[in-house]
């Protein structure tokens, strides 16, 4: 089953026919909220709001392990993360939809592994390609069918938040090779990999990163809100066209 983890601006999937909500307890504590199970354009789907349904959980306090663990327990095999980001690369202005292909992790102090050594084993996983290649391709194909322009490939910088970056920090992220910046991409992606779930992301660019473009002298939160609403409508259109393992909605 496919799951969508919705970020800011996507606390619910408007066109999801809700069958039931399921409260799942996990060995890692409470997920961000109950799982919503239903169907989108006729296909069974799970949905969870990363920041809680009332948008109350900041990025550094999301229980990423519980969310991934709950989705796996519900029978999820594929996860599409929807997350808003700031655009660093000049061509990734507000309104762009991006399917990233790489990650740089600047977060700290988050529970970032299921392999904590509690089972008496040291385990390492390959993370060379942090996103599932097939699911990325499926998202790009879905965007093409939906007629939505989506940028193929970007390096996602995961910052700690909840504050936005300084202009100098964004300059450093760019020197590091990052194209977009967000606060929730890690450890979510690595936990999905550890759990054996295929994971890919759609990033919605809602602002120029700090010190860039319209954000040269600051970032206006109201501008972010407006952009979110419009871009999430387009994201939903892409999700409606998503085929997984040959199964289309
Ligand atoms: N920085 C970090 N996270 C974000 C941003 C940003 O500029 N915009 C949306 N999420």
Instruction: Report pLDDT digits (tens) over 80-127.
Output: 999 999 999 999 999 999 999 999 999 999 999 999 888 888 889 999
Domain-located, residue 70: yes
Rounded distance between C-alpha atoms, residue 97 and residue 148, angstroms = 9
Q: Which residues pair with 21 in a beta bridge?
A: 36
pLDDT value, residue 14: 67
Å from CA of 69 to ligand 1 middle: 26
For residue 83, give the ligand 1 atom closest to its CA: 10
Q: Any idea of the CA torsion for 171, 105, 224, 166, to the nearest 10 degrees? A: -30
Domain-located, residue 90: yes
Residues spanned by the domain of 133: 2-244
Nearest CA to ligand 1 atom 2: 182
- Cβ atoms of 155 and 100 within 8 Å: the answer is yes
Taking the mean position of all CA atoms in its chain, how far away is CA 190? 12
Domain-located, residue 249: no
Per-residue pLDDT of the chain (249 residues; tens, 9 = 90+): 999 999 877 776 766 777 889 999 999 999 999 999 988 878 889 999 999 988 899 999 999 999 999 999 999 999 999 999 999 999 999 999 999 999 999 999 999 999 988 888 888 999 999 999 999 999 999 999 999 999 999 999 999 999 999 999 999 999 999 999 999 999 999 999 999 999 999 999 999 999 998 888 888 888 788 888 888 888 889 999 999 877 787
- The total of structural domains in the chain comes to 1
Q: Any idea of the CA torsion for 38, 43, 44, 48, to the nearest 10 degrees? A: -60
pTM here is 0.95
Å from CA of 219 to ligand 1 middle: 10
Domain-located, residue 141: yes
Domain-located, residue 210: yes
> What CATH number does residue 130 fall under?
3.40.50.1580
């Amino acid at each position: 089953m496919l799951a969508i983890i919705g970020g800011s601006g996507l606390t619910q999937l408007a066109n999801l026919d809700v069958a039931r909500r399921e409260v799942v307890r996990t060995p890692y504590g409470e997920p961000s909220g109950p799982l919503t199970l239903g169907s989108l354009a006729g296909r069974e789907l799970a949905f969870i709001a990363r920041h809680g349904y009332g948008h109350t959980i900041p990025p550094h306090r999301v229980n990423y392990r519980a969310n991934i663990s709950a989705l796996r327990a519900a029978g999820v095999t594929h996860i599409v993360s929807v997350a808003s980001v700031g655009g660093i690369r000049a061509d990734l202005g507000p309104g762009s939809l991006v399917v990233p292909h790489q990650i740089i992790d600047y977060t700290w102090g988050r529970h970032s592994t299921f392999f904590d050594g509690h089972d008496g084993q040291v385990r390492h996983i390959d993370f060379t390609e942090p996103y599932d290649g097939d699911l990325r391709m499926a998202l790009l194909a879905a965007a093409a069918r939906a007629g939505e322009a989506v940028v193929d490939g970007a390096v996602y910088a995961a910052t700690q938040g909840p504050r936005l970056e300084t202009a100098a920090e964004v300059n450093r992220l760019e020197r590091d090779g990052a194209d977009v910046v967000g606060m929730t991409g890690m450890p979510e992606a690595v936990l999905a990999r550890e759990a054996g779930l295929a994971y890919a992301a759609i990033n919605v660019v809602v602002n120029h990163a700090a010190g860039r473009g319209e954000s040269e002298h600051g970032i206006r939160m109201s501008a972010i809100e407006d952009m979110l609403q419009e871009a999430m409508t387009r994201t939903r259109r892409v999700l409606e066209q998503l085929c997984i393992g040959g199964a289309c909605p």
